Structure formats: C-alpha cells, structure tokens
Structure 1
C-alpha cells in the first residue's frame, strides 16, 4: 500500500551557540545533532499524525563532518516508510553557514556553497494507533 505521506520533509534551521562548544577547535559533540533530529522528527509526527511520537531507535548514524560553534545548520527529516504505528525517517544535518572570525572582524561569518553534510541518520519513531 502506498502512503501519500512518504516523502514529506520538514526542515529546521539552527545557529550553534558558542556555549555548546564541547571540544577543542569549537567542536560540538555528536549528540547535538541527535537532539536536533528529535526536534525535527517531533514536528514531522505532529504534522502527519497529530501526536509528538516517541523515538524508538536509530538504525544508522554517520558523523561525516564536524559541527562547530558558530555554524548555521539545516536539519531535515524525511519520511521514508509509514507502518501502522511506526515511522521510518531519514535525517540530515547540513552546515549552510560557518563563523569565520578574524582579529579584525570577530563576528565574521560566511554562507557555505555548497553546504557541508555533517550528520546523517535513519531512525524510527512510534505514534499512537489511529482512532477507529
């Protein structure tokens, strides 16, 4: 059975504050991306099912490039399969902008073209059964 909701995508944008720096070089830990995946999955479930849903599992997570404080991120969730209660979702974090401070311009930043794919994942969320 084809579900017309498959292919639905939600995108959030987020600036990574310097207060989230976790490692040298202004690196942010990988859990930061996973938290963002939870946020965008929640909106996807609300829009498609009228419920926030519960994250059940990840079947794959790939950290492909660093996320740094000062980055501007796009976080996308795309529904790839819908079961009776489960929703399989592909996730991607793209760095679309990055801080580029210099002593002369400490707040300098640049838009990245092309964007850098930093993190990808596939996860499953569960929503309540539809009312009869």
Structure 2
C-alpha cells in the first residue's frame, strides 16, 4: 500500500569533490545538481511506494547561484501532488558549507544562511500497487 502523501520530504547532503569541477573558478556543472535531484527522488519513491520509481520529466529548472567544488550541498524533494501512479515533486538545492581557498587549500566555512542554488519541479512514476 502506498504511503505517498503531500508534504513527504527527503533530504540528502553531499560534499562536492574538486574532481567534479569543470570550469574556471572550480565551478561544477548544473547536471551535478540534477543527478542529486534524481537520487533524492528515488528515495522519495522508496519511502512513499516501496519502489525506486522512474523520473518522468522536469517541468521547470532554475539555476540561481553557482555550485563550486569544496561546497557541501543539501538537496530536498517534497511531494506536492499524488496521482494513481505519478507524484509531482518540488526540489531545492542549497549550499550549506563553502570552501575558502582564499584562506588556505583546505579552509571551509559553514554558511550563516544556506544559499539556494537550484530549484525545480518534476514528476516521477511508480508501478501500480
């Protein structure tokens, strides 16, 4: 039986290694965050329906701020609509810690306020229960 309910939220955090920097300034491409959204959507499906589900589509993606190597990023997915087999999800990504290479090679800080870097909405589908 499905436990899918509006408001169910799953959160993941991950350190972004320097091996993922692709651009000057240690910038990380937006696809990295979208992959994290896929991971958190998978856990939402497992929590709600006992199945990994499938990502069907994004209806909106907004890249608001850069993600950099050395950051710790927090991603969240929240169910906003429950259909027979589909669930609409709202995604957000925040930088909660940021590397400080200006201070030293390994310096980093916890941000006083998380920095929203990406938001999106999408749809996943799960098998019929």
What TM-score do you get using the length of structure 2 for normalisation? 0.95
2:71 and 2:96 in contact (8 A); partners too: yes
Q: Secondary structure at the match of 1:77?
A: strand
| Cα distance, 1:54 vs structure 2 | 0.3
CA distance in 2, matches of 1:62, 1:80: 18
Residue of structure 1 equivalent to 2:123: 124
Higher-Rg structure is 1
Q: Secondary structure at the match of 2:67?
A: coil
Q: Secondary structure at the match of 1:19?
A: helix
Aligned structure 1 segments of 4 or more residues deviating by more than 2 angstroms: none
What does the per-residue CA deviation read over 1:53-112, in whole Å, with 9 as the maximum and x for residues that have no partner?
Answer: 000000000000000000001100000001000010000000000000246x32000011
CA distance in 1, matches of 2:77, 2:114: 17
CA distance in 1, matches of 2:117, 2:102: 24
CA distance in 2, matches of 1:29, 1:4: 32
CA distance in 1, matches of 2:44, 2:29: 24
Which structure 1 segments of 5+ residues have no match?
none
Residue of structure 2 equivalent to 1:108: 107
2:4 and 2:48 in contact (8 A); partners too: no
**Pairing of 1:1-132 with structure 2 (within 5 A):** 5-102=5-102, 105-130=104-129
What does the per-residue CA deviation read over 1:23-78, in whole Å, with 9 as the maximum and x for residues that have no partner?
Answer: 11100000000000000000010010000000000000000000000000110000
Aligned length: 127
2:42 and 2:52 in contact (8 A); partners too: yes
